[in-house]
Structure 1
Amino acid sequence: MNECHYDKRMDFFYNRSNAATADEWSGTSLVIVLCFGTFFCLFIFLSNSLVIAAVVKNKKFHFPFYYLLANLAAADFFAGIAYVFLMFNTGPVSKTLTVNRWFLRQGLLDTSLTASLANLLVIAVERHLSVVRMRVHSNLTKKRVTFFILLIWAIAIFMGAVPTLGWNCLCDISTCSSLAPIYSRSYLIFWTVSNLGVFFIMVVVYIRIYMYVQRKTNVLSPHTSGSISRRRTPMKLMKTVMAVLGAFVVCWTPGLVVLLLDGLNCTHCEVQNVKRWFLLLALLNSVMNPIIYSFKDDEMSSTMRRMICCSFEDRNQERRSSRIPSTVFNRSTDSSSQYFENGIGQGIITSKENA
Structure 2
Amino acid sequence: MLSSSHMIWSVIDGLLCVIIIFGNTLTILAIRLSRRLRNVKSNHFVLSLAISDFLVGLTLPYHLSFYIVDELNLVKVACVSRFVLISFACSASIYNLIAIAGDRYISIVHPLKYTRYMSKKVVYVIIVIGWMTALGISSIPTWWNCFDFADECEMDTVLPRYYTVAVLTPMLFVSWITMFVLYWRIWREASTHAQRLRDNSLYNDVPSDWKSVQVVLMVLGCFSICWLPYLIVACTRSFDWSSKASPVTYKAMFSLAMANSGMNPIIYAWKNTNFRKAFERLLHFESPDRNCFNSSLKNYLKKQQELMKIESGGSQETDSAGIKTISDNYCFETEERAQITAV
CA distance 1:197–1:109, shift in 2 (3 Å) = same
Q: Do residues 28 (structure 1) and 18 (structure 2) align?
A: no
Aligned counterpart for 2:140 among listed residues 139, 142, 162: 162
Q: Structure 2: which 5+ runs fail to align?
A: 288-343
Amino acid at match of 2:59: A
Percent identity between the aligned chains?
Answer: 24
Aligned residue in 1 for 2:297: none
CA RMSD across the alignment: 2.8
CA distance 1:38–1:273, shift in 2 (3 Å) = closer
Alpha-carbon distance in 1 for matches of 2:138, 2:274: 35
Please tell me whether the aligned partners of residues 131 and 213 of structure 1 are also in contact (alpha carbons under 8 angstroms). Answer: yes
CA displacement at 1:308 relative to structure 2 = 1.8
Amino acid at match of 2:221: G
CA displacement at 1:95 relative to structure 2 = 6.2
Write out per-residue CA displacement over residues 28-85 of structure 1, whole angstroms, 9 at most, x where no aligned residue: 2222222232222122222211111111222332222211111111111010011111
CA displacement at 1:126 relative to structure 2 = 1.2
Q: Do residues 272 (structure 1) and 222 (structure 2) align?
A: no
Aligned counterpart for 1:234 among listed residues 194, 206, 209: 209
Q: After the TM superposition, which segments of 4 or more aligned residues of structure 1 sit over 4 Å from their partners?
A: 135-139, 176-179, 221-225
SS of equivalent residue, structure 2 residue 66: coil
Correspondence list, 1:93-242, <5 A: 93=70, 96-134=73-111, 138-139=115-116, 140-164=118-142, 166-169=143-146, 173=149, 179-190=155-166, 191-220=168-197, 223=200, 232-242=207-217
Write out per-residue CA displacement over residues 138-193 of structure 1, whole angstroms, 9 at most, x where no aligned residue: 551222111111111111111111111x333358x59x997532211111111213
Please tell me whether the aligned partners of residues 10 and 67 of structure 2 are also in contact (alpha carbons under 8 angstroms). Answer: no
Bigger Cα Rg = 1
Which piece of structure 1 moves more, 136-145 or 99-108?
136-145
Provide the TM-score with structure 2 as the length reference: 0.74
Please tell me whether the aligned partners of residues 223 and 260 of structure 2 are also in contact (alpha carbons under 8 angstroms). Answer: yes
Please tell me whether the aligned partners of residues 45 and 100 of structure 2 are also in contact (alpha carbons under 8 angstroms). Answer: yes
Correspondence list, 1:248-267, <5 A: 248-267=223-242
Please tell me whether the aligned partners of residues 127 and 138 of structure 1 are also in contact (alpha carbons under 8 angstroms). Answer: no
Q: Do residues 305 (structure 1) and 280 (structure 2) align?
A: yes
Amino acid at match of 2:193: K
Alpha-carbon distance in 2 for matches of 1:228, 1:54: 33
Alpha-carbon distance in 2 for matches of 1:27, 1:80: 24
Amino acid at match of 1:120: L
CA displacement at 1:244 relative to structure 2 = 1.4
CA displacement at 1:250 relative to structure 2 = 0.8
Write out per-residue CA displacement over residues 250-276 of structure 1, whole angstroms, 9 at most, x where no aligned residue: 112111211111222324323323122
Provide the TM-score with structure 1 as the length reference: 0.72
CA displacement at 1:194 relative to structure 2 = 2.8
Alpha-carbon distance in 1 for matches of 2:70, 2:193: 56
Write out per-residue CA displacement over residues 282-327 of structure 1, whole angstroms, 9 at most, x where no aligned residue: 2221221111111111121011112222349xxxxxxxxxxxxxxx
Amino acid at match of 1:259: A
Alpha-carbon distance in 1 for matches of 2:198, 2:112: 14
Alpha-carbon distance in 2 for matches of 1:205, 1:34: 37
CA distance 1:163–1:216, shift in 2 (3 Å) = same
Alpha-carbon distance in 1 for matches of 2:245, 2:198: 54
Alpha-carbon distance in 2 for matches of 1:194, 1:44: 23
SS of equivalent residue, structure 2 residue 255: helix
Please tell me whether the aligned partners of residues 177 and 184 of structure 1 are also in contact (alpha carbons under 8 angstroms). Answer: no
Amino acid at match of 2:10: L
Q: Structure 1: which 5+ runs fail to align?
A: 1-24, 313-355
- Count of residues in correspondence between the two structures: 283
Alpha-carbon distance in 2 for matches of 1:178, 1:298: 42
Alpha-carbon distance in 2 for matches of 1:135, 1:31: 55
